[in-house]
C-alpha cells in the first residue's frame, strides 16, 4: 500500500458524459500527478499540482481539467467523454515539487470504461 | 520534449536466468531515471532508480546501469523468479523539470 488513495475503483459511463476522479496523496506529500494508461499509449503524464497550484502540464486534453484543494486532495474532471478515453487513470504523489527527482508513489488507479 | 524508447516489448526467460531491459532517452538534460514494476491490474511500484551522477546501482537481485554519453540505461534482474513476472517501465526526468516520461513497457514472463 503506497498511502495514495483513489476513488472510485471502477467507473462505467456513456459517451458525452462527465466524470470526476478523486485522489488523496500520502500524508505530507504536496504534489499530485495524474497519469493516463491505455493499452496503446502506455503511461502518459497529464498534469501536476503542487500545494494547490498547477506545476506542470503534459498531454492533457482541453476536455480534461484538474484541481488541488486546500486539504491537498485532487480531482480530475473528464467531460464530453469519448470511447477513446477508456483507460486506467492513476494519480501519484511526491513530497515536494518534483524537480529534483523525487519518488512518485502511485495510487491503485481508477478504471474508466466509456460505452 | 523528452522521448524514451524501451526494448524489448516482451521478454520470456527461464527461472534462474537473467533478464535485461534497455532504455534510451533523447534529452541530455535528463538526470533522474526510475524503474517501475507493474503487476497485472495493480499500481506501478518503484523498484530502483538512478541519478546522472552515478553509473551503476544495485539492490539485491536488481541493478541499473546508466551511460550518459550514449543516453541509455538498463535494468538487470538476476536469478529471476516467477514473481518477477510483470510489466516493467523505465522513465526519465529532466533536471528542474516535473514531467516523468515513461518508456513503452516490457512484459517479462519468467517460466518455472
The pLDDT of residue B96 is: 65
pLDDT tens-digit readout, A20-56: 999 999 999 999 999 999 976 689 999 999 999 999 9
For A69, the grid coordinates are 484543494
Mean pLDDT check: name the lowest of A79-88, A89-98, B62-71, B80-89.
A89-98
Tell me which chain A residue has its CA closest to the CA of residue B5: A42
For A93, the grid coordinates are 504523489
Antiparallel, parallel or unpaired: β B106-111 and B10-14: parallel
- Quote the CA–CA distance of B102 and B45 in Å, as a whole number: 13
For B94, the grid coordinates are 529532466
Percent of residues in chain B assigned helix, strand, coil, to nearest 5: 5, 60, 40
pLDDT tens-digit readout, A74-106: 999 999 999 999 999 999 999 988 777 788 999
Q: Which of residues 74-103 of B touch A (CB under 8 A)?
A: 89, 93, 95-103
Tell me which chain B residue has its CA closest to the CA of residue A10: B41
Q: Is B2 on the interface with A (CB under 8 A)?
A: no
Amino acid at each position: 500500500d503506497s498511502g495514495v488513495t483513489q476513488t472510485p475503483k471502477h467507473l462505467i459511463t456513456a459517451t458525452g458524459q462527465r466524470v470526476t476522479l478523486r485522489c488523496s496523496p500520502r500524508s505530507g506529500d504536496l504534489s499530485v500527478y495524474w497519469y493516463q494508461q491505455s493499452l496503446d499509449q502506455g503511461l502518459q503524464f497529464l498534469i501536476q499540482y503542487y500545494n494547490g497550484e498547477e506545476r506542470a502540464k503534459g498531454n492533457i486534453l482541453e476536455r480534461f481539467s484538474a484541481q488541488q484543494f486546500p486539504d491537498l486532495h485532487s480531482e480530475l474532471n473528464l467531460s464530453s467523454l469519448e470511447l477513446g478515453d477508456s483507460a486506467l487513470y492513476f494519480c501519484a504523489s511526491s513530497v515536494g515539487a518534483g524537480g529534483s527527482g523525487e519518488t512518485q508513489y502511485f495510487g491503485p488507479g481508477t478504471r474508466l470504461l466509456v460505452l | 520534449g523528452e522521448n524514451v524508447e524501451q526494448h524489448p516489448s516482451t521478454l520470456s526467460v527461464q527461472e534462474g536466468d537473467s533478464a535485461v531491459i534497455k532504455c534510451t532517452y533523447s534529452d541530455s538534460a535528463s538526470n533522474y531515471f526510475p524503474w517501475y514494476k507493474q503487476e497485472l491490474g495493480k499500481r506501478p511500484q518503484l523498484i530502483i532508480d538512478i541519478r546522472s551522477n552515478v553509473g551503476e546501482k544495485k539492490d539485491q537481485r536488481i541493478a541499473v546501469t546508466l551511460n550518459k554519453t550514449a543516453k541509455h540505461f538498463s535494468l538487470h534482474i538476476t536469478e529471476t523468479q516467477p514473481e518477477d513476472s510483470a510489466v516493467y517501465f523505465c522513465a526519465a526526468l529532466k533536471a528542474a523539470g516535473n514531467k516523468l516520461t515513461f518508456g513503452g513497457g516490457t512484459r517479462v514472463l519468467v517460466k518455472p
